[in-house]
Amino acid sequence: MTETLLKVHGVETYYGNIRALAGVDVEVRRGEIVSLIGANGAGKSTLMMTICGSPQARTGTVTFDGQEITRLPTHEIARLRIAQSPEGRRIFPRMTVYENLQMGASLDNLKYFDEDVEKIFALFPRLKERKAQRGGTLSGGEQQMLSIGRALMARPKLLLLDEPSLGLAPLIVKQIFDAIRALNKEQGLTVFLVEQNAFAALKLCDRAYVMVNGRVTMSGTGRELLADPEVRAAYLEGGRH
């Protein structure tokens, strides 16, 4: 349970001359759910994308499952079974829902597609109804479901979720968080997620990191951070329910 799956060490990432990550250390152990919270522009999405090599870290290292992946091209990182539901969802707009899910399963050449797609449809029945619709015409919430579903289709060892609750109705958010918890408990899926909804994220996770201006400023168990006065003041008060 305590074996490290992902280790981000001293990572700095730049966009041109702008430094978005200023030496980040983060660790995710096998079987954990880890949350990352922080204000807008803190660098959360940049960290998610840096793990996937797009953009690559300028300094520092990213290690996954014992292998250094800092300089690997993005598609090779994906082949190690790191799947991401990225910021902005990035649904292929002119592909159907079904084809988007097929894209998620391209690593295994659709070998487990039929079996897995049923699980996704059970999780999000809405996607089943919309299966022949073009991704670009889905509602924001439907796109979010599709993005998460597509990431799960890759049978990931590590699932990266960038704001999975964005734009979703509270009931669906609860469904998604329940689903994440269930996948984690039943299949041991390791999850690293970014959330604006700090309260829900801290309740869901085993551990969490707080990011400010490209640096991790605080970390601890979800419970600890929920109780922390600073965290409460900055991320929880007012946005409680």
Ligand X SMILES: Nc1ncnc2c1ncn2[C@@H]1O[C@H](COP(=O)(O)OP(=O)(O)OP(=O)(O)O)[C@@H](O)[C@H]1O
**Where do contacts with Mg ion occur on this chain (CB under 5 A)?**
45, 87
**Shorter beta-carbon distance to ligand X: residue 3 or 15:** 15
Largest Cα separation within the chain, whole Å, is 49
Owner of token pair 């001293």: 10
Amino acid at 240: R
Distance CA 175, CA 181 (A): 10
Candidates 8, 28, 38, 51; binder of ligand X (CB under 6 A) is 38
Candidates 28, 33, 46, 161; binder of ligand X (CB under 6 A) is 46
Q: Is 103 in the site for another protein (CB under 8 A)?
A: yes
**Shorter beta-carbon distance to ligand X: residue 212 or 233:** 212
Candidates 5, 6, 11, 20; binder of ligand X (CB under 6 A) is 20
Q: Is 171 in the site for ligand X (CB under 6 A)?
A: no
Q: With the CA atoms of 191, 109, 103 and 77 taken in that order, what torsion angle do they form, in degrees rounded to the nearest 10?
A: 50
DSSP SS3 for 191: strand
Q: Is 133 in the site for another protein (CB under 8 A)?
A: no
Partner whose footprint covers residue 18, from ligand X, another protein, Mg ion, none (CB < 5 to 8 Å by kind):
ligand X
Partner whose footprint covers residue 46, from Mg ion, ligand X, another protein, none (CB < 5 to 8 Å by kind):
ligand X
DSSP SS3 for 17: coil
DSSP SS3 for 6: strand
**Shorter beta-carbon distance to ligand X: residue 19 or 181:** 19
- 234-to-3, 87, 168, 192 alpha-carbon distances in Å: 32, 22, 23, 21
- Is residue 25 exposed (0-12), middle (13-18) or buried (19+ Cβ within 10 Å)? middle
Distance CA 21, CA 40 (A): 14
Q: Is 61 in the site for another protein (CB under 8 A)?
A: no
Q: Is 45 in the site for ligand X (CB under 6 A)?
A: yes
DSSP 73: -
**Shorter beta-carbon distance to ligand X: residue 42 or 145:** 42
Q: Is 95 in the site for another protein (CB under 8 A)?
A: yes
Strand partners, 36: 194, 209
Interface contacts to another protein, rule CB under 8 A: 52, 54, 73-75, 78-79, 83-84, 86, 88, 90-95, 99, 102-104, 106-107, 109-110, 134, 136-137, 150, 154
